[in-house]
Amino acid sequence: MSVPSVLDDIVAGVREDLAAREARTPLRELRAALADADAVRDPLPHLRASTTSVIAEVKRRSPSKGHLADIPDPTTLAAAYAAGGAAAISVLTEQRRFGGSLDDLRAVRAAVDVPLLRKDFVVADYQVVEARAAGADLVLLIVAALDDASLRRLHDLVGELGMTALVEVHDEAETERAVALGAELVGVNARNLKTLDVDAGTFGRLAPLVPADRVLVAESGVTGPDDVARFAAEGARAVLVGEALVRDGDPAAAVRAMTGLPVRTPSPTAGGTLA
As annotated, the active-site residues are 57, 59, 119, 168, 189, 219-220
Report DSSP state, residue 39: P
| Residues in CB range of 11: below 8 A, 6 or more apart | 121, 123, 145
CB-CB contact of 245 with 255 (8 Å): yes
| Residues in CB range of 68: below 8 A, 6 or more apart | 59, 60, 61, 62, 242, 243, 246, 247
Burial state string for 56-71 with b = 16 or more CB within 10 A and e = fewer than 16: bbbbbbbbbeeebbeb
Q: Are strands 138-142 and 185-189 parallel, antiparallel or unpaired?
A: unpaired
Q: Are strands 238-241 and 215-219 parallel, antiparallel or unpaired?
A: parallel
Q: Are strands 185-189 and 88-92 parallel, antiparallel or unpaired?
A: unpaired
CB-CB contact of 179 with 150 (8 Å): no
